[in-house]
Structure 1
Amino acid sequence: MKFGIFVYPDVEPVDLATFGVLSMARRAYPDIQIHTIAPTKGEVLLANGLRVIAEYGVDDAPAFDVIVVTGGAGWKEQVKNPATLAFLKARSRDTVMTSVCTGGMILAAAGVLNGKQATTKCEVIPPEISPLLQMKEQYKDISTVHTSVVDQQTVVTGGGVTLCIDVMLHLLKTRISPEVANETARIIEYSRAWQANKAALPPIES
């Protein structure tokens, strides 16, 4: 299964746990492929100085089974980036589109979440406004919900920050197998946290 992790300037580095979970999952399921995509391929400056190299840009990215849009303060620029929005909208026709944290705001701006249930980052430090509340107020065609994961089959959205780990484990469980997901959770020492998060913020599937 081929995953594309979409990054952009000012992504929060913690959201690179999306890549990290898949990297560890390859120990249990080596057929996973992981690639990075950005609006423009090459060096991308994330929040607080971390630099990553995106393997592909939106103009040369190959086909993926799943594209994961990461979150961070840079989402506010990406929702105004025509190339990013056009890329995500086009890929949504034949790819499982996934967001973690405020990546959901970018999928919303691209029209990928219209008519669907979705979640995004909820908790913030005042006076910042909760992205989940912003999504609810700005996108009336989206049914927002505060939870860890919302799986609408072709679109999967996740809650904020470290819940990106739960989103990736959910994808492993539902798109590969429960055994691969459980083994990955075990070896990243996250099994109890995953179960606790599912109990507190139950995933929604339809």
Structure 2
Amino acid sequence: MPEPVPLTIGKRPPPVHTVAVYAFAGMAPFELGVVVEVFALARPELAGLLAAPWYDVRVCAERPGHPLEVVGGFSLTPRHGLEELAAADTVVVAGVPDPYGEVPPAVTAALRTAHSRGARMVSICSGAFALAAAGLLDGLPATTHWRYAAELGRRHPEVRVDPDVLYVDNGQVLTSAGSAAGIDLCLHLVRQDHGAKVANTVARRFVVPPHRDGGQAQFIQAAVRPVEEPEDGVARSMRWALDQLARPLTVPLLARAAGMSDRSYLRHFTARNGVSPMRWVAIQRIAASLPLLESPEGSVEEIAAAVGFESAATFRHHFGRTMRTSPTAYRRTFGRAA
């Protein structure tokens, strides 16, 4: 008589979470490499820390099995097609062939299918254009690389584009800024799935901080720019103000430089620039402070006074509002050694 087959009664092991990333000809390989590095790399350092299996990564393309020429003079050959991208648990679009062109219809169809199934939808850099083209960002805040933010807002006015942040988490749909911000978002996903300790361990092997302060505003080239506007009172006052940033500035002073009444000046200035005169002055002062913070000389208090802020506290407030970080953190990141 055959021996009975032993049965193990207990919980089924949790299913492996599949991560599909879209690949295309001409793509920059960094963003794809970030996804593969975070989710596909073998991680013996996580032994004993994981309550669920690590990820199963699938690189997907419109024509699986065909080599794709990518930036840098080499090619890669994805083994998986868009049907597997549509079936994944997490879908990552690490860029699009052309942020100023059309997203392939087969790609938007696969994204809509994945989203309707409840997949987690993620974009890195220009990948937000694909999510927007599929209608997945309608009515939601989103971000992309700062150089593409205006174009994303122009082409998809239904998307609330935030050009300053490193990433935006809307729950099922997440977007990140350019390149390295993809690392921040991928670590955020690991933190959601496996907890802070696992995410910190992955970040340590990546040799990056598990979380970065601030947003991408601190990486945008910001400088006091000459006012290139038709000659009128508002433009004249703006050029005058750029030469007077270190002195106290008020709306009556700016209106006088424009040859206008205070009320008329406020109305015309805000209509032209989209911000109030004093908010514009604060932004110009912040821009003027950046090269000073990048130098090792001068304290934050001295720099605040040099660019016209009445106190270091006021400087810190406006700096944080504009740059999404503090003056001290900016100096630590971008400052030159003495």
**Shorter-chain TM-score category?**
0.7 to 0.9
TM-score, normalised with respect to structure 1:
0.84
Contact 1:158 1:164 in 2 (8 A): yes
2:52 is aligned with 1:37: no
Higher mean Cα deviation, 76-85 or 138-147?
76-85
State the partner residue of 2:200: 182
State the partner residue of 2:92: 68
CA distance in 1, matches of 2:101, 2:74: 18
Contact 2:125 2:144 in 1 (8 A): yes
Instruction: State the Cα distance separating 1:60 from its structure 2 match.
Output: 5.0
Task: Identify the match of residue 109 of structure 1 among 125, 133, 149.
Answer: 133
Instruction: State the Cα distance separating 1:36 from its structure 2 match.
Output: 0.6
Higher mean Cα deviation, 1-10 or 25-34?
25-34
Higher mean Cα deviation, 40-49 or 148-157?
40-49
Task: Identify the match of residue 172 of structure 2 among 141, 151, 154.
Answer: 154
Task: Identify the match of residue 120 of structure 1 among 122, 128, 144.
Answer: 144
After superposition, give the CA deviation of every residue in 1:136-171 in whole Å (9 maximum; x if it has no partner): 111111111121110111001000012111111011
Structure 1 unpaired stretches of 5+: 123-129
Contact 2:86 2:111 in 1 (8 A): no
CA 1:200–1:87 in 2, change beyond 3 Å: closer, same or farther?
closer
Task: Identify the match of residue 38 of structure 2 among 8, 18, 21.
Answer: 21
State the partner residue of 2:253: none
After superposition, give the CA deviation of every residue in 1:102-157 in whole Å (9 maximum; x if it has no partner): 011111111111111110111xxxxxxx2111111111111111211101110010
Could you tell me which amino acid in structure 1 is paired with residue 176 of structure 2?
A: G
CA distance in 2, matches of 1:81, 1:11: 14
What stretches of structure 1 move > 6 A for 4+ residues in a row? none
CA distance in 1, matches of 2:22, 2:88: 11
State the partner residue of 2:302: none
Contact 1:24 1:188 in 2 (8 A): no
Contact 2:22 2:85 in 1 (8 A): no
CA distance in 1, matches of 2:206, 2:63: 31
Higher mean Cα deviation, 173-182 or 136-145?
173-182
Pairing of 1:62-101 with structure 2 (within 5 A): 63-71=87-95, 74-76=97-99, 79-93=102-116, 94-101=118-125
State the partner residue of 2:301: none
The structure with more radius of gyration: 2
2:25 is aligned with 1:9: yes
Q: Which structure has greater helix proportion? A: 2
Structure 2 unpaired stretches of 5+: 1-16, 217-323, 325-338
Identity of aligned residues (%): 25
Contact 1:9 1:46 in 2 (8 A): yes
Match of 2:168, SS state, is: strand
Match of 1:79, SS state, is: coil
Higher mean Cα deviation, 28-37 or 99-108?
28-37
Match of 1:131, SS state, is: helix
Could you tell me which amino acid in structure 2 is paired with residue 198 of structure 1?
A: D
CA distance in 1, matches of 2:153, 2:175: 14
CA distance in 2, matches of 1:65, 1:78: 28
State the partner residue of 1:170: 188
CA 1:200–1:142 in 2, change beyond 3 Å: closer, same or farther?
closer
Contact 1:85 1:109 in 2 (8 A): yes
Instruction: State the Cα distance separating 1:62 from its structure 2 match.
Output: 6.5
Could you tell me which amino acid in structure 2 is paired with residue 71 of structure 1?
A: G
Match of 2:40, SS state, is: helix
Could you tell me which amino acid in structure 1 is paired with residue 181 of structure 2?
A: L
CA 1:9–1:87 in 2, change beyond 3 Å: closer, same or farther?
same
CA 1:170–1:61 in 2, change beyond 3 Å: closer, same or farther?
closer
2:160 is aligned with 1:143: yes
Give the structure, 1 or 2, with the largest relative contact order (CA under 8 Å, sep 6 or more): 1
Indicate the RMSD between aligned Cα atoms, in angstroms.
2.1
| Count of residues paired in the alignment | 191
Higher mean Cα deviation, 148-157 or 79-88?
79-88
